Amino acid sequence: KLIKGNQRHLSLDDRIYIEKALEKSIAFKDIALFLSKDPTTISKEVKKHRVVKTRNTIYIPNNCMSRQGCTLTDICIPCTSHKFHSRCASCSNCNKYCPKYVPNNCSKLLRAPFVCNGCDKKNICRMDKYYYRATTAHSKYRTILSTSREGINLSEDSLSELDSLVSPLIKQGQPISHIFLSNSDVIPCGRRTLYNYINNNILTVRNIDLPRKVKYKPRKRHTNITKDHSWREGRKYSDFLSFLGEHPDTSVVEMDTVEGTKGGKVLLTMLFRNSRF
């Protein structure tokens, strides 16, 4: 009865499935069963990454729950200077100054599915709407994944002990490799991490205290962008050959371009395989 999870992070395809399932009003339990996840994982994913679409304030500027039966007047100071006073419920400043203001939010957002993707009244609703978008959720996930690894993974006391140990030795002229060989059991981080601490001015020593560091040029940072090749599935040349093997009578036309000089005229060629024309 329990869903055995696969202990993997949600991918973009998983989030796209969640978005489409929410539009069809599929329950979290069924979504989790398809993705081999716990239902609470789907619930946390939707609530964490949902985005709000604010209501249109042109037709209904006041968002108070009791605006229709409210008879209060002269709540804010700017309105008291006018000779004729109207009900504050018809003013957009009422929500800022009224002490009895209660926002008029949809009660369906307090329970599953927490979003308006599959709501049949979202086109006529005048309240704030919440939506789950797969691309936005995946972008937030990637940002959190990278920022969670930034910063110093040491306490203040451990960092102070590291500074008191390493900085005097570096100022004496000892290289970092020698310091690690002599104090590998005491230093709580790796050699690359120590270089980063010095480069970010976290320790007392600086890059100028490293004899060889000042001779090097700054390295170029290359960002490795992982490309999504899922669109190639079923569209490779091997799939084309297997299709022809199953359907040998299929009429195939090959198209190509013959280019002379760059920017000049281009000849479009078309080859009809069956007639070799």
**162 and 211 share one domain:** yes
Query: Is 34 a member of any domain?
Result: yes
* 271-277 CB contacts, 8 Å cutoff, 24+ apart: none
**97 and 175 share one domain:** no
CA 94 to CA 236: how far, in whole Å?
Answer: 62
pLDDT at 148: 78
Q: How many CB atoms lie within 10 A of CB 241?
A: 9
For the chain, the domain total comes to 3
**111 and 211 share one domain:** no
Domain that holds residue 41: 12-56+105-145
**162 and 209 share one domain:** yes
**75 and 123 share one domain:** no
**172 and 208 share one domain:** yes
**Residue after which a domain boundary falls, among 91, 113, 145:** 145
**165 and 46 share one domain:** no
**211 and 161 share one domain:** yes
pLDDT at 212: 83
**20 and 52 share one domain:** yes
Query: Is 69 a member of any domain?
Result: yes
pLDDT at 81: 46
Query: Is 226 a member of any domain?
Result: no
**Mean pLDDT in each 10-residue stretch from start to end of the chain (277 residues)?**
72 94 93 90 94 77 70 65 58 69 78 90 85 94 85 86 92 90 88 89 90 79 78 90 91 92 91 90
Query: Is 130 a member of any domain?
Result: yes
**52 and 69 share one domain:** no
3-state SS, residue 127:
coil
CA 78 to CA 83: how far, in whole Å?
Answer: 12
DSSP per residue over 39-73, as a string? HHHHHHHHHHH-EEEPPPTTT----BTT-SS----
**109 and 95 share one domain:** no
